[in-house]
Structure 1
Amino acid sequence: MRKLSCFILLISSLLLISACNQNKVTKIDLAEVTRSIFYAPQYVALEKGFFEEEGLEVDLQTTWGGDTTMTALLSDSADIALVGSETSIYVYAQDSRDYAVNFAQLTQTDGTFLVAKEADEDFNWEDLRDSNFLGQRVGGMPQMVGEYVLKQHDINPHEDLDLVQNIDFANIPGAFASGDYEYVQLFEPTASIFEANGQGHIIASFGEESGQVPYTVFMAKESFLDEEEETVKAFTRAIYKAQQWVQETDSLEIAKVVEPYFEDTDVEMLANAIERYKQQGSYATSPLLEEAAWENLKSIMDEAGELPGDAPYEDLVNTDYAEQIIEE
């Protein structure tokens, strides 16, 4: 009888330990490069509890800019960063021993729109010649894609425009509103807000013009991927759930879910911005970053004169987690 009691006690202890392990929560510090409806699937993963389902507690911080976001990642202030994949190439070119590796793609086109001060229903890219154009940060994806698109339309941004690039990323909308600039690149929902307030008019999409590119990607240091494989896999699974949910869900319903992240923006306006991104295929439907898109990124960077050197897909992109999650 005593042996039976001991056996029952042992089994109970094992079950208790197992239950504790199953309920174990792993904390993740996540840094996003900016706050944008362009990242709707990320906010869906947070609000719908997809991270929690995977045993993750994600603390989201907005770090405003590629440089500060990458600094947060490399200094261990963040475990994972959502930022333009070009930043990983810049770090790799510095011969970093523990460089950033892209493991889950979130957006697959440029997310900016060409906004004009004046309405122009008959807009032609030639209209930009000799205009006062407020550009984005040198070496950042918005600016490089912008230059790439303009050159496709035989416009040299540094010769054919009065191009200004000395405004910090977070201050660009305010500078456009208060300055005498004629054109600017803006993300949503800022572009729609400007349009609703009569401060600007959306006249073209850089995402539609530039094709598929790994524009915003979740990345982590190589050491983190090696040491936290199960955590990264769980994170990727949560993102994939969100991507599928966004793909299958009405834009207004998505807007209602992510509204807490955009308290000053009307839900209908959010829905319109989400629909615009969905229609042009900006939201990646899976976390898999394919080599063809990576090569397009390198071509865009090279065209802008910002590709610092070789950026091997096999070194800077890890598709293991995405492939495993998709197969599940």
Structure 2
Amino acid sequence: MSGARRLTIYEPFRSIFYAPQFVALYGGHFAGEGLDVQVETAGRGVTTTGALIDGHAEIALGGIMRSLDVADRGGPSLPHFAAVNQRNGFFLLSREPRPGFAWADVVGKTIVSFAEAPTPWQCMLTVLRKHGVDPATVRIERTLPLPEALAAFKNGHGDFFETGQPFTERLIAAGAAHLVASMGDATGPVPFSSYMTTERFLRDGRDVLLRFTRALYRAQRWMTGVDAKPIAEVVAPAFPDIDQAIRLRAVTRYLGQDTWARDPILERPGYEYLQQILLDGGFITRRHRYDDLIDTAIARDVVGDAARRS
């Protein structure tokens, strides 16, 4: 891509949950802004926040909880500037059909949960408490990486399995598990994933961030005007190992629960709700100011400019 500004983004893991990123990439929106975006997936020993702090990436995709965690430990501010997901993207599956599922059904049971990030677990704790279930009465296991956790569940370990896509659709299609709860519906609207950067790049790279966010917003607007099939087709290059039918079902389910943010603005109420979830779960020890970790100036400029042009 001759003459384009090369930009490296770190993502925590590859997921259809991050479809807006891949619509912006493979739909040509980043290229339309003169950006040559390279997406790298964090591996063991490499975190999205670490990639930013060490200078390996200028932008990272992940939960606000990652910046809250760094700030809580006295680290540098890593502000989030553009929303991607507005719902939890995980699902609770049961080994047996449970047509009348109630949250009390998990008492005394084992939930094999997601070990790669703490936000799904923290949201689970909040949902349990909201439904009158003491989390101490449920065994929530977060010790195994996803491939091993999936294998363990398939081999009979645990009563419930909390996972995202495409694993939810694969397990359901194989008859190996049954959907009992969408954690997106159970948790409610929450800014689950967004783009973050360093304070320095927020200041010195504003033009690049404006172009990046314009591309993202065009992808978001396109996604709100189509059904699941074109989205599943556009993101296909990012998921060569996912069967077309499974990919379509995953996108359909995410679209149906309003998973993806419709614009890049990270509003205060969602931030405060997420922060309360993390405080209640003991993941962070104190409150952090919205203005210290969220910057909406770029997103508001992009949305406002688009409105004036329409």
Structure 1 and Structure 2 fold alike (TM over 0.5): yes
Partner of 1:289: 266
Question: Deviation of residue 316 (structure 1)?
Answer: 0.4
Partner of 2:216: 239
Is 1:206 matched with 2:219? Answer: no
Partner of 1:249: 226
Partner of 1:16: none
Question: Deviation of residue 138 (structure 1)?
Answer: 8.9
Deviating more after overlay: 118-127 vs 187-196: 118-127
Output the CA distance in 1 between the equivalents of 2:215 and 2:272: 27
Aligned equivalent of 2:296, options 319, 324, 327: 319
TM-score of the two chains, using structure 1 as the length reference: 0.88
Equivalences, count: 304
Is 1:224 matched with 2:170? Answer: no
**Aligned 1:1-328 pairs, distance under 5 A:** 24-64=3-43, 68-96=47-75, 98-137=76-115, 140-157=118-135, 159-169=136-146, 171-328=148-305
Output the CA distance in 2 between the equivalents of 1:138 and 1:57: 28
1:228-287: CA deviation from partner (whole Å, max 9, x where unpaired)? 000011111111111111111120111111112222222222222212112211100000
Question: Deviation of residue 144 (structure 1)?
Answer: 0.4
Output the CA distance in 1 between the equivalents of 2:154 and 2:19: 25
Deviating more after overlay: 124-133 vs 318-327: 124-133
Residues 286, 64 of structure 1: alpha-carbon distance in 2 compared, 3 angstrom cutoff? farther
Output the CA distance in 2 between the equivalents of 1:258 and 1:305: 36
Q: Which amino acid aligns with 1:176?
A: F
Q: Is the 8 A contact 1:252 1:268 kept in 2?
A: no
Question: Deviation of residue 33 (structure 1)?
Answer: 1.0
Partner of 1:17: none
1:179-228: CA deviation from partner (whole Å, max 9, x where unpaired)? 41111211111111111122211111111011111100100011111110
Question: Deviation of residue 26 (structure 1)?
Answer: 0.9
Partner of 1:5: none
1:101-155: CA deviation from partner (whole Å, max 9, x where unpaired)? 1000100111100011122222121111111211334971111011111111111
Q: Is the 8 A contact 2:279 2:286 kept in 1?
A: no
Q: Is the 8 A contact 1:45 1:239 kept in 2?
A: yes
% of aligned pairs identical?
32
Residues 323, 65 of structure 1: alpha-carbon distance in 2 compared, 3 angstrom cutoff? farther
Question: Deviation of residue 327 (structure 1)?
Answer: 0.6
Question: Deviation of residue 81 (structure 1)?
Answer: 0.6
Output the CA distance in 2 between the equivalents of 1:67 and 1:293: 28
Q: Is the 8 A contact 2:5 2:34 kept in 1?
A: yes
Residues 121, 206 of structure 1: alpha-carbon distance in 2 compared, 3 angstrom cutoff? same
Output the CA distance in 1 between the equivalents of 2:274 and 2:45: 16
Q: Is the 8 A contact 1:288 1:319 kept in 2?
A: yes
**RMSD between superposed Cα atoms in Å:** 1.8
SS at match of 1:100: coil
Residues 85, 171 of structure 1: alpha-carbon distance in 2 compared, 3 angstrom cutoff? farther
Output the CA distance in 1 between the equivalents of 2:210 and 2:44: 26
Q: Which amino acid aligns with 2:34?
A: G
Output the CA distance in 1 between the equivalents of 2:304 and 2:210: 13
Deviating more after overlay: 71-80 vs 41-50: 71-80
Deviating more after overlay: 247-256 vs 264-273: 264-273
Output the CA distance in 1 between the equivalents of 2:213 and 2:297: 10
Q: Is the 8 A contact 2:113 2:142 kept in 1?
A: yes
Q: Is the 8 A contact 1:252 1:267 kept in 2?
A: no
Q: Which amino acid aligns with 1:168?
A: P
Q: Is the 8 A contact 1:108 1:215 kept in 2?
A: yes
Partner of 2:308: none
Extract unaligned runs of 5+ from structure 2: 306-310
Q: Is the 8 A contact 1:90 1:308 kept in 2?
A: no
SS at match of 2:137: coil
SS at match of 2:91: strand
SS at match of 1:287: coil
Extract unaligned runs of 5+ from structure 1: 1-22
